[in-house]
């Protein structure tokens, strides 16, 4: 499961967690009691401003970025700590797993990954908590690994049954519902439809409403091709994550191979 | 370099960091400006009380320990965060590397380790910061990996030139200097002398004054055998860590192969 950064932080205010939302989501996860489960969260107002300032996603250009890498990772660690703390306070055996310490990318794509601790954690009933992170890269020295690439890659490598994406909207729309009154909610998509829709993104007919929907869709396609079902729900609305975890009916967008 | 938990926390008070000492040590590390360097720190009053309560070091016995593993790791994450924050505030590009996410032990000994991110960090001039941690174990499900095993293992795998141990005493003594007035400070030890001394520990002629000296010595022997020089200094006294990092003369115990 991926929880978008906007679902757990106050987007407009740098370094401001949405403690109330984090607590509610921890309650929903505890209540759903689903295992094995991996949680990946985004950076929201923690990771993004620092990463952007030091242009970490562009790779190493000059030595002034080095401290920026440390600051980006540290900002994510602080947010992750709040999430894991809240989960443990709800009696969920959560364990932080920073991607920067167990993964390396090659030109931005996950190249190597020490998955043994993670697999053992899942077998033992732990809830590993990963996040979009600043990571080392064998080609460009470092970069940003998105939570979306991470959740899709983990789902494929660990043969997940499904991916739940907790966004701050009800899923995909034919246009931006915030600005276009003709926007229509998409409740179900096949892989073919998703690929068509992705092309439209370039034409701005489908607007990026979750702060990175074109990227999200691109990352999700390989997982969907492998037969993993994806459901995008609004994590800002109470009980949606609970329902999605339990497999109950919920407003959202389901993406399936066929 | 290893900084004992007692050097960065208030030993007697659970979950109490010694912020002043952490800040001073960050200043000394910044001032010494030595690279490549890896920092390993202990748990002090953060990790130990929780790990002990849930008997994490004994491996998995019953399900009530699972949340204890999470709490132990989380306590260490909080302490590590304070250390890394202080280093970054001193403009040192520190990066937290939790052992639980990149290592797995077998009956308590490091079995597998994803070292690529760590090596890349060292090449890039980062200061990786690891710590004694609750880790997954392929035999006993989980255990505690000591900072001492970690620093010795890292030094051997990464061909370190030397290991600096920052303790809360001036090094090794022939007896406990705190209770025995006949105690004599040992400024230099060969491997043969170390092995002899280690046997004496069992006879309590050499007292464990750093909260785990017999264990420390046992862990250090393989590194010393490989030709890595070990120096134990008192990190609680200003400038000792600086001097040890710079290779300057400092009160302490040097352990060498010959």
Taking only the tens place, the pLDDT of each residue in B25-45 is: 999 999 999 999 999 999 988
Taking an 8 Å Cβ-Cβ cutoff, which residues of chain A contact chain B? 60, 63, 66-67, 69-71, 73-74, 77-78, 81, 84-85, 88, 91-98, 100-104, 112-114, 116-118, 120-121, 124-126, 135-136, 138, 141-142
Phi and psi torsions of B133, nearest 5°: -150, 160
How close, in Å, is residue A166 to chain B by CA atoms?
24
Among partner residues A77, A85, A121, which is closest to B96 by beta-carbon distance? A77
In angstroms, the CA B171 to CA B189 distance is 11
pLDDT at A113: 87
In angstroms, the CA B215 to CA B213 distance is 5
Q: What is the ipTM of this complex?
A: 0.91
DSSP state of B56: G
pLDDT at B200: 63
b/e code A217-245 from CB counts within 10 Å (16+ = b): bebbbebbeeebbbbbbbbbbebbbbbbb
How close, in Å, is residue B14 to chain A by CA atoms?
17
pLDDT at B180: 83
Confidence class for position B64, pLDDT limits 50, 70, 90: very high
Average pLDDT for residues A63-69, to the nearest whole number?
Answer: 96
Nearest CA in chain B to A62: B124
pLDDT digits (tens, 9 = 90+) for B109-165: 999 888 999 999 999 999 999 999 999 999 999 999 999 999 999 999 999 999 999
Nearest-Å Rg of the Cα atoms of chain B is 17
Strands B39-41 and B127-131: parallel
Q: And the tokens for A160?
A: 């997940």
pLDDT beyond 70 at B14: yes
pLDDT at A200: 63
pLDDT digits (tens, 9 = 90+) for B77-88: 999 999 999 999
pLDDT at A198: 72
Most B CBs within 10 Å: which of A83, A85, A102, as the mutation test of the B interface?
Answer: A102
pLDDT digits (tens, 9 = 90+) for B173-226: 887 777 888 888 999 999 998 888 776 654 444 443 334 677 788 899 999 999
Which string of DSSP letters, residue by residue, matches A37-63?
A: --EEE--HHHHHHHHHHTTGGG---ST
In angstroms, the CA A108 to CA A4 distance is 20
Say if the Cβ atoms of A96 and B74 lie within 8 Å.
Answer: yes
pLDDT at B195: 83
Phi and psi torsions of A186, nearest 5°: -105, 115
Q: For the whole prediction, is pTM greater than 0.90? A: yes
Contact B197, B172 (CB under 8 A): yes
How close, in Å, is residue B147 to chain A by CA atoms?
17
Nearest CA in chain A to B130: A101
Nearest-Å Rg of the Cα atoms of chain A is 17
In angstroms, the CA A191 to CA A185 distance is 17
Residues of B in contact with A67 (CB under 8 A): 88, 91, 93
Confidence class for position A209, pLDDT limits 50, 70, 90: very low
Residue B159's region, left for phi above 0, alpha for psi from -120 to 50, else beta, is left
Contact A98, A81 (CB under 8 A): no
Among partner residues B66, B114, B138, which is closest to A126 by beta-carbon distance? B66
Say if the Cβ atoms of B98 and A103 lie within 8 Å.
Answer: no
pLDDT beyond 60 at B99: yes
Confidence class for position B108, pLDDT limits 50, 70, 90: very high
Average pLDDT for residues A111-138, to the nearest whole number?
Answer: 94
How close, in Å, is residue B70 to chain A by CA atoms?
5
């Amino acid at each position: 499961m991926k929880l978008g950064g906007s679902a757990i932080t106050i987007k407009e205010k740098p370094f401001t967690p949405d403690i109330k939302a984090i607590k509610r989501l921890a309650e929903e996860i505890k209540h759903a009691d689903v295992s094995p489960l991996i949680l990946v969260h985004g950076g929201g107002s923690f990771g993004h401003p620092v990463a952007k300032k030091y242009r970490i996603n562009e790779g190493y250009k000059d030595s002034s970025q080095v401290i920026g890498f440390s600051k980006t990772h540290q900002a994510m660690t602080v947010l992750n700590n709040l999430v894991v703390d809240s989960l443990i306070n709800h009696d969920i055996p959560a364990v932080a797993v920073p991607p920067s310490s167990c993964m390396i990318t090659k030109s931005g794509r996950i190249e190597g990954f020490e998955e043994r601790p993670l697999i053992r954690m899942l077998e033992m009933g732990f809830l590993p908590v990963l996040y979009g992170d600043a990571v080392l890269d064998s080609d460009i020295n470092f970069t940003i690994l998105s939570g979306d690439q991470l959740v899709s890659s983990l789902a494929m490598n660990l043969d997940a049954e499904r991916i739940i994406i907790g966004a701050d909207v009800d899923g995909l729309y034919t246009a931006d519902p915030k600005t276009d009154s003709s926007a229509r909610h998409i409740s179900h998509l096949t892989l073919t439809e998703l690929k068509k829709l992705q092309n439209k993104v370039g034409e701005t007919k489908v607007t990026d409403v979750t702060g990175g929907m074109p990227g999200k869709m691109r990352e999700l396609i390989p997982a969907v091709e492998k037969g993993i079902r994806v459901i995008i729900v609004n994590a800002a609305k109470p009980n949606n994550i609970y329902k999605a975890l339990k497999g109950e009916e919920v407003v959202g967008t389901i993406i399936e191979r066929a």
